[in-house]
């Protein structure tokens, strides 16, 4: 069995730090996991007051409650002993432990061992060269106090931890629209949130169906729900700092709903299937003077592709880019585009494997985030180009620039200029 771990919520820690000399503690425990979390604390012999777990859907919410544990105010050197004992696999003699703590002592007895938390707020300053915590945990037996692992949930946890190492503020202020919440889009949503993007707007009209689950980040428990709702719920659990708005509409049919929203986002990331939806997003983003990133898999999942479209005077739209590739003999245009209105298929069913699609999503999310950050003055977020081709299952014989011959290879290419007369690139 793994070592015992004690979890302490920020509220519980605050009450003990601001309290008197000692108090009682109630834990909620899971014996199979060997974990206990503080769920109620008293200050001395005052009533024991609840201190909720830091997450409302935490697995310990279903655990057993156990009272009659203690917390004590302690001398800083006891915490040094805890640190030393933890690192050397030793224990602290009960007499020594008892000497170093204040408050009403609870004697352990055979069959009545208990968990004690000790608080020494001066400890970190007393021993600045080593990380001595101000709160530690012990398993107290009639012979000794054994140091126990502890995790205190701080308000500084989450993205504040990365401040100074990552531009958390700039990303928290950023807003990204994600068109398509499918296999690439769902994974991209998680990736964007993991970068600290403050707001996501998810757009997709589809429901998660059973055949999607093999590739989608959402599990089978969400089958039947709108994909945007499934992803939103998962993000709320995994990345609560990211605000998520949803719009369950088709990008082509509801362009009028997307157009005004594009003016209030930093980037639109389009992972929608088919040529038409991507063209619509390319056009709308250009008109809104908003950067667009388009991500997809080509050749039945053999190639991943990410295109960044910037609404700059010398950068072309998606159509200009595709025409340039077609003119070079690199790409066949989508045959359905030439069929009459209402005929043909809109896109090929997805055939790639989930892991590869998630890899494309990660690169697409990185592209979108780098686009935001470069504009905010971060030179380490410059990209090598505007069009990335990613080898997933490359095969010989494709025309340049798709002639990758190794899986994992990423080739970055420049933008294509606008074509004269392009209805998207030229000002109306």
The residues of the shown chain that bind other proteins, judged by CB under 8 A, are 289, 310-314, 374-379, 382
Residue owning tokens 């400890």: 123
Nearer to other proteins, 47 or 377 (CB): 377
Nearer to other proteins, 243 or 376 (CB): 376
Q: How far is the CB of 425 from other proteins (least distance, A)?
A: 13
Q: How far is the CB of 373 from other proteins (least distance, A)?
A: 9
Q: How far is the CB of 414 from other proteins (least distance, A)?
A: 14
Q: How far is the CB of 165 from other proteins (least distance, A)?
A: 11
Nearer to other proteins, 160 or 240 (CB): 160
Nearer to other proteins, 259 or 378 (CB): 378
Nearer to other proteins, 140 or 268 (CB): 268
Nearer to other proteins, 59 or 312 (CB): 312
Q: How far is the CB of 290 from other proteins (least distance, A)?
A: 10
| Cα 32 from chain centre | 28
Give the span between the Cα atoms of 71 and 51, in whole angstroms.
14
Longest dimension (CA), the chain: 89
Nearer to other proteins, 91 or 386 (CB): 386
Nearer to other proteins, 77 or 374 (CB): 374
Give the span between the Cα atoms of 278 and 373, in whole angstroms.
24
Buried b (16+ CB within 10 A) or exposed e, 246-284: bbbbbbeeebeebeebbeebbbbbbbbbbbbbbbbbbbb
Nearer to other proteins, 379 or 420 (CB): 379
Can you give the chain as a three-state secondary structure string? CCCCEEEECHHHHHHHHHCCCEEEEEEEEECCCCEEEEEEECCECCCCEECCCCCCCCHHHHCEEEEEEEEEEECHHHHHHHHHHHHHCCCEEHHHHHHHECCCCCCCECCECEEEEEECCCHHHHCCCCCCCCEEEEEECCCEEEEEEEEECCCCCCHHHHECCECHHHHHCCEEEEECCCHHHHHHHHHHHHHCCCEEEEECCCECCHHHCCCCCCCHHHCCCEHHHHHHHHHHHHCCCCEEEEECCCCCCCHHHHHHHHCCCCEEEECCCCHHHHHHHHHHHHHHCCEEEEEEEECCCCEEEEEEECCCCCCCCHHHHHHHHHHCCCCCCCHHHHCCCCCCCCCCCCCCCHHHHHHHHHHHHHHHHHHHHHHCCCHHHCCCCCEEEEECCCCCCCCCCCCCCCCCCEEEECCCCCCCCCCCCCCC
Main-chain phi, psi angles of 306, to 5 degrees: -130, 125
Nearer to other proteins, 206 or 374 (CB): 374
Nearer to other proteins, 310 or 358 (CB): 310
């Amino acid at each position: 069995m793994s070592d015992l771990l004690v979890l302490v919520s920020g509220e519980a820690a605050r009450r003990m730090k601001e309290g008197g000399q000692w108090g009682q503690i109630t834990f909620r425990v899971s014996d199979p996991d060997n974990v206990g979390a503080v769920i109620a604390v008293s200050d001395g012999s005052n009533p024991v007051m609840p201190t909720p777990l830091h997450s409302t859907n935490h697995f310990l919410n279903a655990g057993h409650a156990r009272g009659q544990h203690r917390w004590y105010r302690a001398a800083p050197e006891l915490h040094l002993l805890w640190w030393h004992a933890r690192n050397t696999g030793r224990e602290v003699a009960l007499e020594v432990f008892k000497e170093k703590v204040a408050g009403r002592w609870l004697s352990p007895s055979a069959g009545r061992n208990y968990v004690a938390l000790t608080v020494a707020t001066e400890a970190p300053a007393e021993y600045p060269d080593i990380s001595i915590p101000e709160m530690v945990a012990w398993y107290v037996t009639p012979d000794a106090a054994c140091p126990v692992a502890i995790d205190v949930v701080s308000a500084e946890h989450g993205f504040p931890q990365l401040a100074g190492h990552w531009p958390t503020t700039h990303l928290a202020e950023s807003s990204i629209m994600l068109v398509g919440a499918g296999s690439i889009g769902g994974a991209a949503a998680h990736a964007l949130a993991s970068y600290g993007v403050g707001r996501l707007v998810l757009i997709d009209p589809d429901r998660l169906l059973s055949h999607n689950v093999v590739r989608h980040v959402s599990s089978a428990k969400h089958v039947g729900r709108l994909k945007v709702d499934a992803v939103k719920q998962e993000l709320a659990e995994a990345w609560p700092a990211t605000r998520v708005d949803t719009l369950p509409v088709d990008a082509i049919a509801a362009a009028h709903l997307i157009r005004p929203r594009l003016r209030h986002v930093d980037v639109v990331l389009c992972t929608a299937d088919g040529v038409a939806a991507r063209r619509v997003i390319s056009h709308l983003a250009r008109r809104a003077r908003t950067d667009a990133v388009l991500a997809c898999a080509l050749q039945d999942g053999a190639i991943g592709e990410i295109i960044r479209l910037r609404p700059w005077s010398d950068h072309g739209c998606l159509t200009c880019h595709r025409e340039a590739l077609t003119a070079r003999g690199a790409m066949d245009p989508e045959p359905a585009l030439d069929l009459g209105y209402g005929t043909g298929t809109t896109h090929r069913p997805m055939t790639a494997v989930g892991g590869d699609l998630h890899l494309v999503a990660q690169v697409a999310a990185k592209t979108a985030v780098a686009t935001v950050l470069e504009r905010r003055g971060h030179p380490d977020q410059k990209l090598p180009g505007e069009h990335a081709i990613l080898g997933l299952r490359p095969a010989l014989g494709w025309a340049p620039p798709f002639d990758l011959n190794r899986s994992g290879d990423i080739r970055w290419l420049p933008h294509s200029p606008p074509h004269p007369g392009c209805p998207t690139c030229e000002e109306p």
